[in-house]
């Protein structure tokens, strides 16, 4: 694509370059020409799709048994205790109280762009804690 842009700029004895330099619009012309050539390239690509003929057999989601759910609930308290106060507050506000990121920012003062990564780290800690039942019981 880059070669095509330069070829367009330099063809016809560099007429386009001279016109752009006279008008002082070389950068704008380069931008427009690049955009147009990019669109042309995408249009030339042939997207090949094949009809889907086989049914996907999805494995049923692993739902914990009722006994396992009660055990999970019992282990959740100690697992939450492993989180820092900030992580615990974000998890409770987002998952238990259904607050939006904006509302959490206003309530806690945690910057909006820090909420998602902090929730991700907290969930990873919870998964680890819940996967190790002996560590939580101690």
Q: What is the per-residue pLDDT across 39-55, written as a single tens digit (0 to 9) for each? A: 887 787 766 666 666 65
Q: Rounded to a whole number, what is the distance in angstroms from the first to the last CA of the chain? A: 62
Helices (H), the chain: 2-23, 26-44, 66-81, 85-91, 101-108, 112-131, 133-137
CATH 1.10.10.10 fits domain 66-137: yes
Binned at pLDDT 50, 70 and 90, residue 122 comes out as very high
Q: How much is the pTM?
A: 0.47
pLDDT digits (tens, 9 = 90+) for 96-107: 889 899 899 988
CB atoms within 10 A of CB 30: 15
Tell me what the mean pLDDT of segment 31-46 comes to.
81
The residue behind tokens 């842009």 is 5
pLDDT of 78 strictly over 80: yes
| DSSP track, 91-125 | HIIIIIS---HHHHHHHH---HHHHHHHHHHHHHH
For 104-113, the CB contacts below 8 A with 24+ separation are 110/86
Nearest-10 Cα torsion for 50, 54, 55, 56: -80
Q: Across all residues in the chain, what is the average pLDDT?
A: 78
* Residue 138: strand, helix, or coil: coil
Comparing 121 with 38, which gets the higher pLDDT?
Answer: 121
Q: Where in the chain is the domain with CATH 1.10.10.10?
A: 66-137
pLDDT of 112 strictly over 90: no
- Contacts with 26 (C-beta within 8 Å, 6 or more apart), sequence order: 17, 20
pLDDT of 135 strictly over 60: no
pLDDT of residue 20: 79
């Amino acid at each position: 694509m880059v070669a095509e842009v330069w070829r367009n700029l330099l063809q016809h004895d560099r007429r386009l370059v001279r016109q752009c330099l006279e008008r002082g619009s070389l950068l704008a012309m380069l931008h427009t020409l690049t955009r147009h050539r990019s669109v042309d390239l995408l249009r030339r690509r042939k997207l090949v799709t094949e009809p889907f003929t086989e049914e996907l057999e999805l494995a049923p989601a692993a739902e914990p048994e009722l006994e396992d759910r009660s055990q999970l609930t019992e282990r959740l308290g100690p697992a939450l205790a492993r989180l820092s106060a900030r992580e615990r507050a974000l998890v409770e506000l987002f998952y238990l109280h259904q607050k939006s990121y904006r509302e959490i920012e206003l309530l806690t003062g945690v910057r909006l762009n820090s909420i998602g990564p902090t929730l991700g780290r907290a969930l990873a800690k919870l998964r680890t804690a819940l996967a190790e039942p002996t560590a939580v019981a101690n």
